[in-house]
Amino acid sequence: MNIFRYDSALGKVLNRITDLVILNLLTFLVSIPIVPIGAGITALHSVLIKIIKEEEVSITKSFFTSFKREFKQATIIWLLIILVFGILSLDEAIFNGMITNGAYEGFARGGRIVIVGATLVALMILQYVFPIQARYEGRIKETLGKAVGLAIGAFPRTVLMLLAQLLPIAGIWLLGFYIVPIYILVGISGPAYLVALLYNPLFKDGTATEHAGGEPADEVE
């Protein structure tokens, strides 16, 4: 038995790693201008969904097909996300400044707690936004509505998804810059793959569809 055959267990693992490395490079390249990051992440998840469903897929072709198809709406969503987190960061800075200067310190500390809570909620909702954009057709309002519904309805899974996204930070903290070569290869696609494994059953059993109408994007003619 040849363990290096394409259909062997090792062959499948190596093939999956190769796919993730290619996806990592593609996502990084299209995200360099900053503005297209949303479309890049959407395209990343579009391909990951197909990989997890074990569909035959051309990584590069499928990535850029999704990137072009979702560019406008995903970019608008991305800009809204920047706006939301920009406002939260500004509020956090204001409250920190008030605490430093001793002005309305009690109010400022309470406000900072609210901002931290709001940031965590926004991050949990964000876990689903681009996967839903990749998987389902719908307006921005519907996409955000589905994301909120899943973040609440599948809360334990949402927490695990958020922790998976934090793995790169944990890796740096535990191993320092020795782990950077791994990040260069799969720093974006690796955590995204783990997240996709977690959210895929929600799409598979129709849970996502219950929160709003919409057909899977890859099934719409």
Q: What is the pLDDT of residue 100?
A: 82
How far is residue 74's CA from residue 39's CA, in Å, rounded to a whole number? 5
Q: What is the pLDDT of residue 99?
A: 86
Q: What is the pLDDT of residue 214?
A: 43
Residue ranges, the chain, pLDDT below 70: 1-8, 204-221
Q: Cα–Cα–Cα angle for 134, 88, 139, nearest 5°? A: 30
| 51-56 LR contacts (CB < 8 Å, sep 24+) | 51/16, 51/19, 51/193, 52/196, 52/197, 52/200, 53/200
Q: Are 128 and 150 in contact (CB under 8 A)?
A: yes
Q: What is the pLDDT of residue 219?
A: 43
Look up the pTM and report it. 0.86
Q: What is the pLDDT of residue 172?
A: 83
Q: What is the pLDDT of residue 213?
A: 39
Q: What is the largest CA-CA distance in the chain?
A: 73
